[in-house]
Structure 1
């Protein structure tokens, strides 16, 4: 999908006014949009802390991967950084 098509789709979803605010706030920048968003995990440090707590409370790696929408490698990296 071309960038023009993506931008037109974004405008159709959020509207002209919100799109113009994005352009003014982030001119010329790339903005990552996650596949899955959960407000309680918005803060990465808090998410990582909660993930470690879940792990040390006995939650299995595959369950952590699903809960936090992360790869196995990323889950292990977070656990190792105590």
Structure 2
């Protein structure tokens, strides 16, 4: 199944006025909407820095997974990519 949302569906969800504003503000831009959006950790570089710091401070992998809503594989990739 494709993760591309038809424009018609996007317009239904956000409304006509908000959709028109998106078109004006972000023409030609691809927009990714994460499954588990977290305002505090939306910047990946900053989030990854926090994850590494927490890991170095002794936080266990399962705790990191829960705190950041990420899979074990993703946590390992982040802490191994210094």
Band of TM-score, shorter chain: 0.7 to 0.9
Structure 1: stretches of 5+ with no match in the other structure = none
Structure 2: stretches of 5+ with no match in the other structure = none
Task: Tell me the number of residue pairs that the alignment of Structure 1 and Structure 2 aligns.
Answer: 79
After TM superposition, the score normalised by the length of structure 1 is: 0.74
- What pairs up with 1:18-37 in 2 under 5 angstroms? 18-24=18-24, 25-27=26-28, 30-37=30-37
> What's the Cα RMSD here?
2.3
After TM superposition, the score normalised by the length of structure 2 is: 0.74
Cα deviation, 1:41-63, whole Å, max 9, x if unaligned, reads 12111100000111111211112
Question: 1:15 maps to what in 2?
Answer: 15
